[in-house]
Structure 1
Amino acid sequence: MKSIPVLAVAAVTMTLLLSGCVAPTQKTTPLKCSVGEPMTQTTLYFGLNRPAGPVITATEWQSYVDQQVTPRFKEGLSVFDAKGQWLGKEGKLARENSKALMLIHVPGAASEQNIEALRSQYIQQFAQDSVMRIDMPVCVAF
């Protein structure tokens, strides 16, 4: 049996992962749903470590959700515990407890402004470098 080089597997995996990515200015064909309605799923990843000082507590996180997220997305949201891992600038492996926030919303300027406000507020309030954002079209039925 012939082995597949690791780089080839990584290239194919990356191609599949990025195949759904579209530049914001590019027109896309609307998603056709056999069940449900086309919407957008946005998942934001929030690190819970501060560069200096204590980790962000469960109380601080819940306060952020109550004061910043809920007023902007009253229709609903989901929060998941996550574990982040990446290669730092010095080549050292970094790990961090995180929260994943999943929002299902109608695409548009209002949602976009609210999502970016959440990211900016968290970065500022908790001295973070970034909040990762992933968007994808989905079909939603209740």
Structure 2
Amino acid sequence: MRNRMMSLALTGTLLGGCAGPMAAGCGPGATPGLVAEVVFGRNIGNSLGVTDADWSRFVDEEVTPRFPDGLTVLDAGGQWRDTGNGTIVREPSKVLVVVLSDAARDRPRVAEIADAYKRRFDQQAVLTMTRPACVSF
């Protein structure tokens, strides 16, 4: 239950957080921080290749050990242009949202997770975004 509440609090903070560059200060109870969002496509080739069970195993083996204090995973749908033939490819995706409590330590961990996903599921790319945010729990 605690993890669910942390996930809900984090989601609420992200949705209602700072827009654009971080202001000089955050609101009451919030502190400046960094948030990483990592987008994982689930297709392998032209079909769904990363099942829910595959994803759960990946989170258990690669993500949770690097961020045991908490994280949020969202279901999403994404699209991208195939540079080989120019077609638009649509696929189901997962979005990992995690607060980076120590940027120097945590940024490499995010990169390790993206690299592990690309290797394990034969992916060309994993989108990673890092942005400033006002964070509270």
TM-score (norm 2): 0.77
Q: CA deviation at 1:92?
A: 1.2
Q: Deviations over 1:37-61 (max 9, x none)?
A: 1111110000101137761110010
**Structure 2 residue aligned with 1:88, among 74, 82, 87?**
82
Deviation at 1:131, TM superposition (A): 0.5
Looking at structure 1, the residues matched to 47 and 116 of structure 2 have their Cα atoms a distance apart, in angstroms, of 18
Larger Cα Rg: Structure 1 or Structure 2? 1
Contact kept, 8 Å, 2:74 with 2:94, in 1: the verdict is yes
| Larger RCO (alpha carbons 8 Å, 6+ apart) | 2
RMSD between aligned residues: 2.0
Task: Tell me how far 1:99 sits from its aligned partner.
Answer: 0.4
2:72 to 78, 90, 111: 78
Give matches, 1:1-142, under 5 Å.
20=21, 32-35=25-28, 36-51=30-45, 55-89=49-83, 90-142=85-137
1:1-42, Cα deviation, whole Å (9 max, x unpaired) = xxxxxxxxxxxxxxxxxx75xxxxxxxx88521231111111
Q: Distance in 2 between matches of 1:31 and 1:95?
A: 39
TM-score (norm 1): 0.74
Tell me the distance in 1 between the aligned counterparts of 2:103 and 2:47. Answer: 37
Corresponding residue pairs, total = 116
Moved beyond 4 Å, runs of 4+: none
* 5+ long unaligned stretches in structure 2: 1-19
CA distance in 2, matches of 1:88, 1:52: 12
For residue 134 of structure 1, give the secondary structure of its aligned residue in structure 2: strand
Alignment partners' CA distance in 2, 1:53 and 1:99: 15
* C-alpha distance in structure 1 between counterparts of 2:115 and 2:56, whole Å: 17
Task: Give the fraction of aligned pairs with identical amino acids, expressed as a percent.
Answer: 32
User: Mean alpha-carbon deviation: is it higher for 86-95 or for 131-140?
Assistant: 86-95
